[in-house]
């Protein structure tokens, strides 16, 4: 049989109807090679729609003759379950299976040498258990030489799937560097879900992990896929991940106009909280090193990241902030106030706030910032919601009145008077609003 008379299906691939030889000069010949677990029905629906959009209609100017063309399938997957053949013993139709692995390897080696079908070969190696490491290396290096980013991504996926750790330095790291040069992060969506990825990432050295992180800095946002990869790296090298977020902040500060949708710090973290919160002292020191007094948005960037890692304001975080306040410098206190502003005034903040109050001189304007931090209520509901919230705030600060430090007691007295005024004002406003609504929409008797 001549090579042009059959379609070779590389591991796990499937050929579906519409592969054809021209019967007449005006009849189009269409060959299809589908790799992976694509649904035949979904594929055909989309494929026929695309053909129709191009003016090609099956049965008119495209001939349906798959039953006449021999199709050879390499051993892979379950061809019976996918409906390709009726049984392994008697395939039937025009699809058969070949166990000529040596011939297939020889053909792929020739294609690799010629720089042909690199992405398809890498895809085959990805789906083939125990794939040849030598073939993965050759295909990967050829893809690198050709700067074929799709083949590079498929090659990295093949190496991950086969846990070919010896190929990290010669193929994966150069591949990631190439993708970074090309501003390409598509490997994330191609690989993040692979069950072998976690083990693969834990085998990386710190310097290798940083090459991965350098590419992830380019991602427009940190969603579930990216966080999954970051969590695996943070398990071994949490400090590298903190530096990664600083690189994202720097990129956001200098982003081009076409990067206006770049989100440096995620709105919320999930998996990453556990590995990044192990060392509160380093976390605070890292974020503090990014702080500058003239950065008005720091609260929503560096401060937000620290809040995301410690959403419940742990006691260890509080102890670290108290230690910073005790430095008694304006820069130290200003940094701590910026961090406290990202929380909702919960009682866990009180020890730090009392330390700040005790260190500030009387009549310092930053005492007003402490009041604002403590008054923060979050979402309020109900007709008298603010009245209840301010009363709760007053009760929470009552223990301050017996604190041994005079400045703390004096602050608490002033703050409670402020809360009393707020409670009275909100009570009057709520009652007035209620009376106006009652008059405008009287209740039925």
Residue 90 tokens, joined: 């008697």
Whether the pLDDT of residue 19 is over 50: the answer is no
Q: Confidence class of residue 293 from pLDDT cuts 50, 70 and 90?
A: low
- The pLDDT, as a whole number, for residue 435 is 72
Q: Do residues 337 and 366 touch, judged by C-beta distance below 8 A?
A: yes
Give CA–CA dist 247/305, Å, rounded: 13
**Residue 194 CB: number of other CB atoms within 10 A?**
14
Q: Confidence class of residue 243 from pLDDT cuts 50, 70 and 90?
A: very high
User: Which runs of consecutive H residues, i.e. helices, occur in 341-365?
Assistant: 350-359
Whether the pLDDT of residue 227 is over 90: the answer is yes
Q: Confidence class of residue 6 from pLDDT cuts 50, 70 and 90?
A: very low
Contacts 24+ apart (CB under 8 A), 70-73: 70/1, 70/5, 70/6, 70/94, 70/96, 71/6, 71/7, 71/9, 71/15, 71/19, 71/95, 71/96, 72/6, 72/7, 72/8, 72/9, 72/96, 72/97, 72/98, 73/9, 73/13, 73/14, 73/97, 73/98
- The pLDDT, as a whole number, for residue 299 is 83
What are residue 72's DSSP bridge partners? 8, 96
Give CA–CA dist 352/289, Å, rounded: 20
Q: What is the mean pLDDT of residues 179-184?
A: 97
**Residue 345 CB: number of other CB atoms within 10 A?**
21
**Residue 317 CB: number of other CB atoms within 10 A?**
22
Radius of gyration of the chain (CA): 32
Whether the pLDDT of residue 445 is over 50: the answer is no
Average pLDDT, the chain: 83
In DSSP notation, 285-331 reads: HHHHHH--TT-TTGGGTHHHHHHHHSTT--HHHHHHHHHHHTT--HH
Could you report the per-residue pLDDT of 357-391, keeping only the tens digit for each? 999 998 999 999 999 999 987 676 667 778 888 89
Whether the pLDDT of residue 439 is over 90: the answer is no
Q: What is the mean pLDDT of residues 395-409?
A: 96
Three-state secondary structure call for residue 229: helix
- The pLDDT, as a whole number, for residue 356 is 98
- Cα–Cα distances (Å) from 102 to 14, 99, 334, in that order, read 21, 9, 70
Residue 205 tokens, joined: 């050295």
By mean pLDDT, which of 92-96, 314-318, 339-343 is the weakest? 92-96
Whether the pLDDT of residue 260 is over 90: the answer is no
pLDDT greater at residue 262 or residue 439: 262
Q: What is the mean pLDDT of residues 111-118?
A: 93
- The pLDDT, as a whole number, for residue 11 is 42
Q: Confidence class of residue 132 from pLDDT cuts 50, 70 and 90?
A: very high
Whether the pLDDT of residue 314 is over 80: the answer is yes
Q: Confidence class of residue 1 from pLDDT cuts 50, 70 and 90?
A: very low
What are residue 14's DSSP bridge partners? 34
- The pLDDT, as a whole number, for residue 53 is 72
By mean pLDDT, which of 41-45, 138-142, 364-368, 409-413 is the weakest? 41-45
- Can you give the pTM of this predicted structure? 0.74
Residue 9 tokens, joined: 């299906």
Contacts 24+ apart (CB under 8 A), 1-8: 1/70, 5/69, 5/70, 6/69, 6/70, 6/71, 6/72, 7/31, 7/33, 7/69, 7/71, 7/72, 8/72, 8/74, 8/104, 8/107
Q: Confidence class of residue 298 from pLDDT cuts 50, 70 and 90?
A: confident
Whether the pLDDT of residue 2 is over 60: the answer is no
- Cα–Cα distances (Å) from 3 to 6, 7, 64, 299, 370, in that order, read 6, 8, 20, 65, 79
Give CA–CA dist 438/417, Å, rounded: 32
- The pLDDT, as a whole number, for residue 365 is 94
Q: Confidence class of residue 425 from pLDDT cuts 50, 70 and 90?
A: confident
Q: What is the mean pLDDT of residues 290-314?
A: 86
Q: What is the mean pLDDT of residues 44-62?
A: 71
Q: What is the mean pLDDT of residues 308-324?
A: 95
Whether the pLDDT of residue 311 is over 90: the answer is yes
**Residue the block writes with tokens 């008694």:** 328
- The pLDDT, as a whole number, for residue 309 is 96
Whether the pLDDT of residue 156 is over 70: the answer is yes
User: Which runs of consecutive H residues, i.e. helices, occur in 217-301?
Assistant: 224-236, 238-253, 273-276, 280-290
- The pLDDT, as a whole number, for residue 42 is 61
Q: What is the mean pLDDT of residues 318-329?
A: 97
Whether the pLDDT of residue 78 is over 80: the answer is no
Closest CA to 342 of 292, 383, 302, 393: 302
């Amino acid at each position: 049989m001549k090579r042009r008379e059959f379609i070779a299906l590389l591991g796990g691939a499937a050929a579906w109807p519409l592969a054809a030889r021209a019967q007449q000069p005006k009849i189009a010949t269409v060959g299809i090679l589908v790799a992976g677990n694509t649904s035949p029905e979904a594929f055909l629906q989309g494929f026929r729609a695309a053909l129709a959009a191009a003016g090609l209609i099956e049965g008119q100017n495209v001939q349906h003759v798959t039953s006449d063309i021999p199709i050879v399938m390499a051993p892979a997957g379950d061809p019976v379950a996918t409906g390709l053949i009726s049984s392994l013993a008697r395939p039937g139709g025009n699809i058969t299976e070949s166990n000529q692995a040596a011939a297939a390897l020889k053909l792929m080696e020739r294609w690799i040498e010629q720089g042909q079908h690199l992405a398809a070969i890498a895809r085959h190696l990805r789906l083939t258990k125990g794939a040849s490491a030598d073939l993965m290396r050759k295909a990967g290096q050829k893809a690198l030489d050709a700067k074929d980013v799709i083949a590079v991504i498929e090659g990295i996926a093949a190496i991950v799937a086969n846990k070919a750790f010896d190929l990290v330095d010669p193929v994966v790291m150069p591949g990631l560097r190439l993708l970074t040069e090309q501003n390409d992060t598509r490997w994330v969506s191609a690989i993040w879900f692979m069950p072998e990825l976690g083990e693969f990432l834990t085998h990386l050295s710190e310097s290798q992990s940083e090459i991965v992180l350098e590419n992830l800095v380019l991602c427009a946002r940190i969603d579930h896929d990216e966080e999954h990869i970051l969590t695996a790296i943070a398990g071994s090298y949490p400090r590298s991940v903190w530096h990664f977020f600083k690189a994202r902040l720097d990129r956001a500060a200098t982003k081009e106009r076409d990067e206006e949708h770049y989100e440096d710090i995620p709105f919320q973290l999930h998996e990453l909280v556990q590995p990044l919160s192990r060392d509160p002292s380093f976390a605070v020191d890292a974020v503090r090193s990014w702080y500058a007094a003239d950065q008005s948005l720091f609260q929503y960037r560096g401060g937000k990241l620290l809040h995301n890692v410690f959403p419940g304001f742990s006691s260890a975080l509080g102890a670290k902030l108290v230690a910073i306040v005790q430095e008694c410098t304006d820069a130290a206190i200003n940094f701590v106030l910026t961090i406290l502003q990202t929380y909702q005034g919960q009682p866990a903040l009180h020890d730090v706030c009392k330390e700040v109050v005790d260190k500030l001189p009387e009549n310092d304007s930053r005492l007003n910032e402490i009041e604002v931090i403590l008054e923060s209520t979050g979402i309020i509901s109900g007709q008298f919601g603010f009245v209840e919230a301010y009363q709760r705030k007053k009760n929470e600060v009552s223990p301050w009145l017996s604190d041994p430090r005079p400045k703390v007691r004096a602050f608490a007295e002033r703050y409670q008077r402020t809360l009393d005024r707020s409670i009275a004002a909100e009570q009057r406003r709520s009652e007035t609003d209620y009376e106006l609504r009652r008059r405008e929409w009287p209740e039925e008797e």
